[in-house]
Chain A
Amino acid sequence: MNGFFASDLSGAVATWVAALATIATWSYLVGARRLFVLMQHLLAGLATGYLVLLAIRDVLVPRLITPLIEQPRDHVLLVPAVALVATLIGATWLPRGMTAPAGAILVGGIAAFALGGAVVGTVLPQIAAALPTTNAASPDLIGEVISLAITSLVLLAFLHGAPRGRLTIRAATVGRWLLVGGIGGWLGFLLVSRLSLLVDRIGFLLGDWLTVLR
């Protein structure tokens, strides 16, 4: 039981709709493409409608329109945001000089936050954490040496077309097999993950819908 649906009439209707949608999606397996396409359109429509509702109810009205109506003098900086929203919903007749700065701030801000965070929060701390410790008794020392060796071999595998000796070619071959092995192992892990989703859906059909599994 996934617990998302109540035991009243609305819950029963929701369970039936979810079960029928699941079966309709699986009907693609037996070649019923129209049903599958219908489900795709339903998903796209619902997702778009939900996004629009969320944007209006949780973002535009409480954070943009209400402050501008109630206290316009305190929220002058929201005017470019209105221009940006107007541009996004298709008001291309607005002068570019008005909308371009707002768009530039939006794109630049997102990029600055992401890049700044990646450098300060990931690159520098991870370099510091990856440096080998000076303590010879470190329990991770062997693991660190093996990691270094594997990383070097895999990097060598990317030396395509460069002139290299016999030893380098052998090392690159080993690196390529390590890379293939790593990708294969990871795909196996993902298979288990996706299998669990399929088993969960079957569990929903048997448990929540048909109630033969408790």
Chain B
Amino acid sequence: MTSSASSALGSQAAARLRPAAPALLLLVLLVVASLLSGGVSGLELASPDRSRVDQLRGAIADLPDHPLVLIAFDADLGTYPEIRAATRAAIDDLAAHGAQLAIVSFTPEGRAIAAAERERIARAGTEQVPADLGFVAGAEAGLVRSVASVVPASASGPVIDAIRQGGGGIGAFDMVLIVSGSDLSARSWVEQVGTRLPKLPMVTIAPTFLDPELEPYLRSGQLTALVATLREGVAFAEAVEAASGRSSGSIIGSLPMLAGMLAALGVLAEAASRRFSRRGPRRFSGRAAS
């Protein structure tokens, strides 16, 4: 009786888990691929087209000595892992070029990520912590106000003094690095700041979903550089890492990505074959009837 009860419970659990089996299998596949990722060579996730990487690296290399660079941190919590390596590489690259950095956010989510990144840089202790310009409320209106004044009254420090000497607004900076992802993306910067400060170079790092929105601005010259896909981000992080010899943190492994994409193709093929097999007999019966 006990064995029959336990077998009934086992079959109940199995029946409950059956619908979740494909998702659980995918998770297991990705875990195994992640564990094996370090030992597999020959797979490359970085884009072989380095033009976007060269544009961003060129924009940073063209800066004057000890430039003032504003990092507008308005990433989204959900998509930030996709651009994290590229963002950290860009901050490292700017620091290696002697840039005086300041961080500002116009969205609450961006502010949370910016604070975490500042803490990370402070903990690492390898480079100067960017000056904190805090959170600016008001979305587009806040952006426009920051063109004239972006420094909080209570802020102090050598970078803050340099910004105040330059007028205290966004115009005091030599370049803006926009970390996009939230509602207030590089598009808002182009529309609100680019029209008021047309000579200010603006470069951006954005998650993939923003690429079609931002690419026209790159082509029209309103953005100086754009890194907006995972492959470009990985390529940029690797290029900076190769030049500086410093790691920008974990980069997504190519083997789990390949495994995930093959699984997606498998699902697509299975759905197509199921659809084909459903349609086949209907057509056949139609012809037979006629």
Binding site for B on A (CB under 8 A): 1-4, 6, 26, 29-31, 50-51, 54-55, 58-59, 62-63, 109-110, 113-114, 117-118, 120-122, 125-126, 128-129, 186, 189-193, 195-203, 206-207, 212-214
Given contacts A30-B20, A110-B139, A203-B250, contact A129 B219 (CB under 8 A): yes
**Is the CB–CB distance between B209 and A118 below 8 Å?**
no
Interface stretch, picked from B26-34, B56-64, B159-167, B236-244, is B26-34
Select B220's contact among A29, A58, A59, A126, beta carbons within 8 Å: A126
| CB atoms of B35 and A203 under 8 A apart | no
Nearest A residue to B233, CB-CB: A196
Whether A195 contacts B16 by the Cβ 8 Å rule is no
Contact: A195 with B35, CB < 8 Å? no
Determine whether the beta carbon of A126 is less than 8 Å from that of B216: yes
Given contacts A196-B81, A197-B79, A213-B35, contact A6 B20 (CB under 8 A): no
B interface residue numbers (CB < 8 A to A) = 16-17, 19-20, 23-24, 27, 30-31, 34-35, 38, 78-79, 81-82, 84, 88, 108, 111-112, 116, 119-120, 123-124, 134-135, 137, 139-141, 144, 152-154, 187-188, 190-192, 194-195, 207-209, 211-212, 216, 219-222, 229-230, 249-250, 252-253, 256-257, 260-261, 264
Distance of B234 from chain A, by nearest CB (Å): 9
Smallest Cβ-Cβ distance to A193: which chain B residue = B208
Whether B31 lies near A202 (C-beta < 8 A) is yes
Not counting A199-B30, A202-B34, A202-B256, a sample of 4 additional A-B residue pairs whose C-beta atoms are within 8 angstroms of each other reads A2-B84, A58-B111, A58-B137, A200-B84
From known contacts A118-B191, A125-B220, infer whether A199 and B253 are also in contact, taking CB-CB under 8 Å.
Answer: yes
Task: Tell me whether B249 and A1 are in contact (CB under 8 A).
Answer: yes
Query: When the two chains form their complex, are residues B260 and A195 in contact, meaning their CB atoms are under 8 A apart?
Result: yes
- Determine the chain B residues whose CB is within 8 A of the CB of A109 once the complex forms: 141
| A2 to B123 CA separation, bound complex (whole angstroms) | 13
Given A120-B195, A212-B35, the answer on whether A196 and B252 have CB atoms closer than 8 Å is yes
- A129's nearest neighbour on chain B, judged by CB, is B220
Q: Which 8 A-B pairs have the closest CB atoms?
A: A121-B191, A117-B191, A129-B220, A193-B208, A113-B140, A200-B81, A195-B260, A59-B137
Q: Chain B residues near A51 (CB, 8 Å)?
A: 108
How distant is A169 from chain B, measured CB to nearest CB, in Å?
24
A26 close to B27 (CB less than 8 A): yes
**Shortest Cβ distance from A4 into B: residue:** B116
A68 shortest CB reach to chain B, Å:
15
